[in-house]
Structure 1
Amino acid sequence: MSKALTPRPVEAILDWAGTGFIARLALSSAYLLGGLVKLTDFPGAIAEQAHFGMPYPTLFAILTIAVELIGPALILSGRLVWLGAGMLGVFTALAAITANAFWTMPTGPERFGATNAFFEHLGLVGGFILTALLARRRD
């Protein structure tokens, strides 16, 4: 859609300097919150990794917390956005494959839910790619 066809209120929102930050915050907020929750309940973070069958749950809990806190920090700071977006995009893709392997499930409500969750995660991966692209164009 060309800028000439964009309604003025929408144009004003898109041109406002804070819109980009709010969008990046919205995209990364679940990871930031997840990292903080895991950091304050480290035994729970380890248990979550064990639940998903990770071979070294303590190590994967530490790595997950690091990715979930560092990735959003980079995205929100506007520095090394490509790295933060890449960290969260790869993390999200791996989590989707690990936690939502719908292709291994029999037909039914569980498979339906896992399929939806998988494709929601795929959408987030796309959002992180777009975040990196937009940051690159801004630089």
Structure 2
Amino acid sequence: MHDSEAIGLFLARLLMSCVFLFSAIEKLRKEEEEIQAIVGLHLPYPNFVAILAGLCEIVGASMLVFGVGARLASVLLALFLVSVTIIFLQFWKAPTRQVRFGQANAFFGNLGLVGGLTYVALIGPGPLAIFPRL
């Protein structure tokens, strides 16, 4: 792998991690919208679920960006993202066109992120990783 490819792959891992870190911060801050989304699923202990999900996102994003088990982290983050996307972003059920548009953008953006995670899962994190073989 050329140096420019290694740097590009590292930057891709870093940028994908930002999405999960931002999401984790919102959950750990217990933002009302995040908690209400969990309550809407009728899950017990929504504050605990939010904290657990946020911590999982931080661990997964850290693994991805530092290249510690990046393949495994990519698979787990992709599975997490697919399930969250299907559960929370059902744009086809949105009550208004404006809500539908916002949810559809987030839905398809998440699918693009799943594509990037799949790529890392298949080729690995590249040489700019702490444990590139995992």
TM category, shorter: 0.7 to 0.9
* Alignment correspondent of 1:5: none
TM-score, length-normalised on structure 1?
Answer: 0.73
Structure 1 unpaired stretches of 5+: 1-10
Identify the residue that residue 115 of structure 2 maps to in structure 1.
126
The structure with more helix, counted as a fraction of residues:
1
User: Partner of 1:79: helix, strand, or coil?
Assistant: coil
1:112 corresponding residue in structure 2: 101
CA distance in 1, matches of 2:108, 2:117: 14
Of the candidates 58, 69, 80, which is equivalent to residue 47 of structure 2? 58
Deviations 1:42-70 (A, max 9, x none): x32x7513334241312321221122101
Identity score, percent? 33
Higher mean C-alpha displacement, 17-26 vs 106-115: 106-115
CA root-mean-square deviation: 2.5
Q: Scaled by the length of structure 2, what TM-score is found?
A: 0.75
Cα shift at 1:107: 6.3
Figure out how many residues of one structure are paired with residues of the other and give that number.
124
Between structure 1 and structure 2, the one with the greater Rg is 1
In 1, Cα distance between the equivalents of 2:12 and 2:93?
34
The 1:117–1:33 alpha-carbon spacing in structure 2 relative to 1, beyond 3 Å, is closer
Equivalent position amino acid for 1:128 in 2: L
Matched, 1:86 2:75: yes
101 and 37 in structure 1: CA distance in 2 versus 1, 3 angstrom threshold: closer
What stretches of structure 2 of length at least 5 have no aligned partner? Answer: 127-131
Paired with 2:52 and 2:75, the residues of 1 have a C-alpha distance of: 15
Ranked by relative contact order (alpha carbons within 8 Å, sequence separation 6 or more), the top structure is 2
